Every structure is written in C-alpha cells, then in structure tokens.
A and B are shown apart, each in its own frame.
Chain A
C-alpha cells in the first residue's frame, strides 16, 4: 500500500472527462479530495491524497499524464518564509491539518510539510505575508 499527496492540474479540454472516477474504478485507488478548483475554460486543480497498490498507483499516474493531467507533489505548494515570520503564530489556529503548529514553550512556528494539504487558509491570515503559494 502506497500513499501520496499530489496536485493534479487538469487542462480545460478534460473538463467533461470523469478522470477521478477512472482512477478509482480502473486502478482501484482510494482518492481523498483535499481541495478542488474547477472553473470553465480554465485549468482545474485537484489536491488529492491517493493510496493503493504501488503498481496500480504508478499505472494510474501514467494514465493521467498520458491524457494531459500535470502532476506535482503537494510539498511544492506552500512556502513558509521564515525570515519574514515574526512568530505571531496566527496561522496555527487556522491550519486545519496542524501542519503549522506552535512549538512550546519557545513559542515559535513549526511547519510540517508532510501534513500540509495546501488549503491556503494560512496565506491571507498571515499579517506579515510570510506564507506563499508556489505555483
């Protein structure tokens, strides 16, 4: 069983194709959709956690990229600029996956990339513009 967090970028021509359905039925993947953005005539963006048999997962990703889906690892999504951060810790109370947390008693911010689901809630909450989405 392999688990991966991925960002799937869909070109506009795939809008009416049930790609996620195919990943589930043809490749027996478990797909947990963490975030989705689908708008007409624009690139769609799906943040997913997928798990399944390693061969199935590789085949599924191969299939997705063949039809035009661009796949990135999720860790590319969020950048925390420590030099701009003053450790006000406002982001940690908004972060739903606890990727951003307070190290106590030091009272500093810790960022666990593996827990980040790239929901982007922290970005507007940071008063110091220390968190950024990298596209």
Chain B
C-alpha cells in the first residue's frame, strides 16, 4: 500500500488514548523530537501532535433557535442586543454573524469608526452567561399570527445555539504593511504610513494547517478544540485553495487551505470566544482552535516537526499601491520583532496570540492524555485539488 516504516491507524491510536497510553506532544515540542531522533523514530514514539491558534476570524457566527412563542411567530427581522441576525430561515431560527455591527452603529461616518459592539460581542456575552435582549418582528400568517416578540434570553434558555464558522484557521496568511502616506485601518490592524509597521496573523509552527500542510489527516469529522469545547471540522472552509505555490516541505507560501468548523456554543467558554472591535474596519470574533494531528507515519512526523524558520509568508501592501508581494519572510524573522522591507527595518507584531496558542495546544494535549478526547477519523479529507 505504501512504503512507510511506521504505519498506524486512527483506531489504533484511539485505543491507546482509551488505555491512557497515547504519547501526545505539542507541535512546538515535536520540533526537537524530530530534529534529535529523526522522523521514523519520532513517528514510532509519538501518537498525536497538538496545534493551536487564537486570533480574529471574521467568517464566524452562530445558528440560534430562540424557541417558539405563544402565540407563535415566524420571525422575519431579529435583533440580539440590537445586532441584526439573519432570519430568512424557519420560524425561530436565525444566524448571527460575527461582523454584524449593532443596528445604530455610526460605522465609518466619522473615520475611523470604533465599532464598539457587534455579533462577535453578542456571542461572547451569551457564552459568558449574560442576559441578551431579543426582539423579533414578523408580518403575521394564519399559522404564525404573532407580529412582535421582545424577551430577555440567556444561552441556557435557548433551545439550540451552534457555532458554525464557514472560514477559520487560514493555512498561512499575509504579513500586512502600508506603503501609502497616511495611516490605514484594516482587518490586519492599524497600519502606519511609509512602512511604519508590519502585522502578521498566524501562530506559525503551532498553526493547525501548517502541521498537516498537504491535508493528509484532516477532513470532515475531525474532532477539534473549538472555543474551549470539543467541535468538528465539517467541511473545507470557503476560499479553501490548495493550488498555492509551496515549499519543498509542503507548506504553502501564502494563504491556502481553510476550515469550516462547528460546535455546541453551550459548551464553550468566554475565555476562548471574544468579541472584538477593529478600529476603522468593524466587529469580529477571536476564535480559539486546536487541531490534533495523528502521527500515522513518518511523513506526518516530518510535517509536524516544522519550525518557524521553515515556513514563509508574503509581505503585502494593504494601501493598494503595490499589488504584488513586496518580499517573502520566514516566521522566525517575523517573530524576531522586525523584518527588512525595501531596505527599511519594520517592526512586526502577530495579532494572533502565540501564548494563547500554546495554551490551547497544551489543553488539547491534556484532554487526549486523560482519554476524554478521541480522534475523529475523517469521512473525507480536505480537498487537495480544486
């Protein structure tokens, strides 16, 4: 079937997890294990490598069913703490998007707007156990005569609340700079003029998809850490693009694969889902994701042994002056605190919290070691060609 010296299956690894015998390490710890022992030995020792990332992920939101009312309502417009939720679904089902601002937000009318409250904040408030004011309007039908509902709800009261994020955990992402003469406000943060700063946004060597760069173990049904609870990869994310130029180690040189993830909001924690306000850009949600990579063979050991100096990304101008990447940098350069762009020393910051990514990888490691988290064998891998 293949020429690997080490061959393990998901069920063999799960059996070891059940018995409390599985060897689990974080992607950071795996670097030295592979360097010191080689990939074959590392694959024979280690069963699972855990990864983590915690950063703004705009393409996120929650499906909420707010329960039938008496008399019943077929809601057509719904607000949660003043934030509109999409109600073009069945009677009391809505989708609340992370980037939706509160209905009377001044937006960018006075630029840059502050975007103090939005869908991401509502999701955080619900998870934190806070009371949220729900308002629903309807046109009224014979079967759903009610035209207006207003009630205070908490996450416990809601019959269903499911976090469903169409695009998370981007496999690699640009490093953003500004070549123009004025400050710009972007989803990559505030970028000062004339290459004033450089913002990047992945956890590099700890990043989930940079540890399975060619999608050989992850797919529909992979169980993951999501927002502090157990969730799932349910599809490849929107804009998933495997056809990006890659390094010999398989890692894409720019944004490539993505994940669509889902989990029960009721089990999640406010520490791991945070509403955020990006000045001049909008609201969003910071999402915590940790993905376990099964070490099925030495190839997976080699992949998960990847370190920051072996991963690159593109430095891009977000002012629109220069369309092509300005240069390519490694994650060790980015993490050192500065890079050189067009002869200028530019200060770098991650936006993605590395220390929280470490925490996620360690929590996931302890769940697997304790036997409370089993690997989900994917029914279908993430697409390698589109």
Q: Which residues of A contact B199 (CB under 8 A)?
A: 90, 93
Q: Which among A88, A94, A108 has the greatest number of chain B C-beta atoms within 10 A?
A: A88
Q: Which residues of A contact B198 (CB under 8 A)?
A: 93
Given contacts A105-B335, A127-B277, contact A93 B349 (CB under 8 A): yes
B54 touches A124 (CB 8 A): no
The reply on B189 being an interface residue by CB < 8 A is yes
Q: Which chain A residue has the least Cβ–Cβ distance from B355?
A: A87
Instruction: State in angstroms the CA–CA spacing of A88 and B284 once bound together.
Output: 14
A127 touches B337 (CB 8 A): no
Given contacts A90-B189, A90-B190, contact A127 B353 (CB under 8 A): no
Within 8 A of B (CB), among A87-135: 87-90, 92-94, 102, 104-108, 124-125, 127-129
Interface residues on A, range: 10 to 19
The reply on A86 being an interface residue by CB < 8 A is yes
**Nearest chain B CB to A93's CB is how many angstroms away?**
4
Given contacts A90-B199, A107-B354, contact A125 B349 (CB under 8 A): no
Given contacts A86-B356, A124-B114, contact A104 B279 (CB under 8 A): no
- Knowing that A92-B347, A93-B190 are A-B contacts, what are 15 other residue pairs whose CB atoms are under 8 Å apart, sorted by A's residue number? A86-B286, A88-B350, A90-B190, A93-B192, A93-B197, A93-B349, A94-B197, A107-B335, A107-B353, A107-B355, A108-B355, A124-B279, A127-B56, A127-B277, A129-B277
Given contacts A89-B350, A92-B349, A107-B350, contact A124 B337 (CB under 8 A): no
B336 touches A90 (CB 8 A): no
Q: Which residues of B contact A93 (CB under 8 A)?
A: 189-190, 192, 196-199, 347-349
Instruction: State in angstroms the CA–CA spacing of A86 and B55 once bound together.
Output: 9
A104 touches B335 (CB 8 A): yes
Q: Which chain A residue has the least Cβ–Cβ distance from B278?
A: A127
Q: Which residues of A contact B209 (CB under 8 A)?
A: none
Q: Is the interface of A mostly helix, strand, loop or mixed?
A: loop
**Nearest chain B CB to A86's CB is how many angstroms away?**
5
Given contacts A86-B274, A102-B349, contact A125 B355 (CB under 8 A): no
**Nearest chain A CB to B358's CB is how many angstroms away?**
9
Instruction: State in angstroms the CA–CA spacing of A53 and B310 once bound together.
Output: 56
**9 A-B interface contacts by CB (under 8 A):** A87-B356, A88-B351, A90-B190, A90-B199, A93-B189, A94-B190, A107-B350, A127-B284, A128-B274
Q: Which chain A residue has the least Cβ–Cβ distance from B271?
A: A86
Q: Which chain B residue has the least Cβ–Cβ distance from A86?
A: B353
The reply on B46 being an interface residue by CB < 8 A is no
Given contacts A88-B55, A90-B199, contact A128 B335 (CB under 8 A): no
A90 touches B112 (CB 8 A): no
Q: Which residues of A contact B336 (CB under 8 A)?
A: 104
Q: Which among B190, B197, B286 has the greatest number of chain A C-beta atoms within 10 A?
A: B190
Given contacts A94-B197, A127-B278, A127-B286, contact A106 B337 (CB under 8 A): no
Q: Which chain A residue has the least Cβ–Cβ distance from B188?
A: A90
Q: Which chain B residue has the least Cβ–Cβ distance from A98?
A: B347
Indicate which residue in B54, B279, B335 contacts A125 across the interface (CB closer than 8 Å): B279
The reply on B352 being an interface residue by CB < 8 A is yes
**Nearest chain B CB to A77's CB is how many angstroms away?**
19
Q: Which residues of B contact A129 (CB under 8 A)?
A: 277
